[in-house]
């Protein structure tokens, strides 16, 4: 784990956007395309607009979410709606977006339609994880019955989860699919997130705090981008 600390979210977002642009443009130069996985929630909103305003060969970039609430994509709490409104704008409007939504009876029934979209993608270039105050990341929640399946090394790329401590069924990328990335970041803004990070580093059980599976991975180092405000 490599901790990068910034005085505030503006400084963090400028530096983070620069690091992401270097990663994405290197991927485009070397492989002709780049894949970026982003998280939902409140934390990434300012980063999204910084990225959207930045010049890049966005038409060669594929963007998808680490997770989404199982809601129609126009719903207020849809992460897809948030990404479309804040990231897929200006320059970044040319990026190719892969949705984690498919119409079905529920999230579990939707997985067979969504899985091939994500399973078919090559190794990601960058994954930006978020973290809730309960230590969840993506939609791998400590309270959900599907957590062990989502953390399994041989898990399929996508699964449905049903948190008991948060609303909505979810579609989440599995730990295995998220770790299949050249760079992994954890994006944390707010003083409330620091004690959660310390708690996650103080013990090892990912069933208690799923973010530990990433922070304490034996062979993968993740960059934690933290600003207190
Ligand atoms: O439910 C979710 O929450 C986490 C953290 O959100 P934040 O508002 O505290 O930044 C997010 O990473 C995840 O994508 C989202 O579905």
Q: Residue 142 is part of a domain; what is its CATH number?
A: 3.40.50.1360
**141 C-beta neighbours (distance < 10 Å), count:** 25
- In the predicted structure, residue 91 carries a pLDDT above the cut 90: yes
Range of the domain at 91: 2-227
Ligand 1, atom 12, lies closest to the CA of: 130
Helix ranges (H only) for the chain are 9-31, 45-52, 79-86, 107-119, 147-151, 175-179, 193-202, 212-215
To test ligand 1's pocket by mutation, which of 9, 39, 222 has the most ligand atoms within 8 angstroms of CB? 39
pLDDT band for position 78 (50/70/90)? very high
Mean pLDDT of 173-191: 98
Mean pLDDT of 220-229: 97
**23 C-beta neighbours (distance < 10 Å), count:** 17
User: Is the CB of 132 inside a 6 Å radius of any atom of ligand 1?
Assistant: yes
User: Is the CB of 150 inside a 6 Å radius of any atom of ligand 1?
Assistant: no
- In the predicted structure, residue 181 carries a pLDDT above the cut 90: yes
Cα radius of gyration rounded to whole Å, the chain? 16
pLDDT band for position 116 (50/70/90)? very high
- Alpha-carbon distance of 136 to 144, in angstroms, equals 10
Complex confidence, ipTM: 0.95
Residue 225 tokens read as 């981008």
Domain count, the chain: 1
Residue 173 tokens read as 């990328």
Per-residue pLDDT, 60: 98
């Amino acid at each position: 784990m490599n901790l990068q600390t910034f005085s505030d979210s503006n400084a963090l977002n400028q530096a983070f956007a620069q690091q992401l642009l270097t990663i994405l443009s290197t991927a485009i130069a070397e492989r002709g395309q780049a894949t970026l996985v982003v998280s939902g929630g409140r934390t990434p909103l300012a980063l999204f607009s910084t990225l959207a305003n930045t010049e890049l060969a966005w038409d060669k970039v594929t963007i998808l979410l680490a997770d989404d609430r199982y809601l129609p994509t126009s719903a207020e709490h849809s992460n897809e709606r948030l990404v479309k409104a804040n990231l897929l704008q200006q320059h970044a409007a040319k990026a190719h977006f892969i949705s984690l939504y498919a119409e079905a009876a529920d999230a579990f029934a939707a997985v067979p339609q969504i899985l091939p979209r994500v399973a078919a993608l090559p190794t990601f270039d960058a994954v930006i994880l978020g973290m809730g105050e309960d230590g969840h990341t993506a939609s791998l929640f400590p309270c959900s019955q599907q957590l062990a399946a989502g953390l399994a090394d041989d898990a399929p790329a996508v699964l449905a989860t049903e948190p008991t401590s948060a609303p909505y069924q979810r579609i989440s990328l599995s730990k295995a699919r998220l770790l299949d990335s050249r760079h992994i970041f954890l994006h944390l803004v707010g003083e409330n997130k620091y004690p959660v990070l310390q708690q996650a580093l103080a013990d090892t059980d990912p069933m208690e705090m799923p973010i530990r599976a990433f922070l304490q991975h034996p062979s993968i180092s993740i960059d934690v981008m933290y600003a207190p405000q």
